[in-house]
Structures are given as C-alpha cells and as structure tokens.
Amino acid sequence: MARFKLYIEYDGTRYSGWQLQKNAKTIQGVLLKAAYEIFKVDNIELQGSGRTDGGVHALCQVGHMDVKTMLAPEIIRMKFNDILPPDINIIEVEKTNPKFHARHDAVSRSYVYIISKRRTSFNKNYVWWIKDSLDFAKINQAAQLFKGMHDYKSFADKDSEEKSTKVLIHNVECTETANLIYIRIIGSHFLWKMVRRMVGILAEIGRGKKTKEDLKDYLFKYSTEPAKATAPPSGLFLENVYYQGDKISEEFKIPLPNL
C-alpha cells in the first residue's frame, strides 16, 4: 500500500461540497469513483485537507490517497485527468510519507473571496455581485480586526468535529481593482461557514449597515448577526494549504482577471 499526495483544483458550482455524501454529487465522491476505475481494487482511502461547502471552489486543495499500485505518480495524474470531468483537475501527484495526513498535518490555509462591483454575464458562479456602493477603506480597516487569535463562535455553524471555536488568523489582505474586491484570509484552520460570514460582515460594513465596533462585539460575545450576513459560496476559493516548512506566498493567486 502506497500513500500519495494530490494537489487538486476544482470548480465547485455543480457539486455539494468536497465531502462524500449519499444521494449528492461531491468532489470526493467523483475522485473516488475515478480512482476505483483506475486501480481496480476494493480498498482505496482518499482524504482532503478540509471540507469546502457546496458551490465553493479550490485553486489548490490537498488530499492524500492510499492505494496498492505500481503506477508512477505522473501516470496516476494523467489517468485521473483522462476520466475526471472538466471542472475537476489533478494538478500534481507525488508519493509521500505513509504517515502524512492531508488534514491533520496542515498548519495553515488560505482562502480568497471575490466581490464584484458590477453585474457580470460570464463570472456569476465565481463572484458575489453586490449592487450597493461599497466603501473599500472601511472594509480594509475592519478586516484587520480579524488578525490574531479570536473565538469565532459567532461566525461558524455548529460542527461536531470541531472541539474549539478559537482560530488564529495570520493575515487578512484586501485588494481593490476597477470592478472587483479581493479578500484573502490566511489562518491556522477555518470553521464551517466561517470565511463566508467574515466576508458577509465586511460587506455590511462596506455598505454602511455595520461598523468596526459591531465586528469587535461579534468577536468578544456570541451573536447571530454574522449568520444573517453569510456571503454566498460562489465567490469563495480555497487558495492553498500549507504544511510544515512551506513558505506562505506573499502574492495570492488571482482566480479571475478583472471584469
């Protein structure tokens, strides 16, 4: 039995998230189906670095796969991509330590969220179009409050797999172009729907409906307000997953050209 590390990109529009589910099409499910077709064995384990919700995309999801095979990593990559639909792509496959775990060994992750300031015909599955005028300076200033260790109970749905709601956010970077706002968030890990609620509250601040002081309150005491402001999944991209020894890129991956 060999363990392989997989680097995966996908458009999550047609899928009910990463995690395998009964009666739903998921990224993990499609990958496993392809794996069984390639390796013709009964026992394959394939795990990801974390779950992404339905409609959320990945520029570089990381997974590990246990399978008995003599195929070289590059041949495995090509065989996967011959079978997979066009909205899922294996970027790279490499043989790895049998003890490597895509989720448990990850030390940080980065997400990029894209807000569109104009209506778009071609990119609606990859942005959140906000009709209202947004104050970028207020968004950027408020975003810096997320940095550091905070309790994100107000920003997450309950999850039986998570023992703590405390998360260390290393950096939040906001960039504005003519028609887009990019919000890049780097953290130790992320809770269920956490990034979408962080972005939702920042959008409310940009609209002038919430303030920095409101955001501070949500970080110090539980509130249901962030849940009401949850941003749609379409604009969210898992950018990268980092492991011990990896250097976090200062330049984030831009999923889309400016509209």
Active site residues per annotation = 53
Using alpha carbons, select from 159, 147, 214, 135 the residue that is nearest to residue 185.
147
The Cβ of residue 199 has, within 10 Å, a number of other Cβ atoms equal to 27
The owner of tokens 């490499």 is 94
Q: How far is Cα 60 from Cα 102, in angstroms, rounded to an integer?
A: 12
Q: What is the largest CA-CA distance in the chain?
A: 59
d(CA 219, CA 63): 32
Across the chain, how many H-helices and E-strands are there?
Answer: 6, 10
Contact by Cβ (8 Å): 68, 5: no
Based on its alpha-carbon atoms, the radius of gyration of the chain, rounded to whole angstroms, reads 19
Tokens for 179?
């028609």
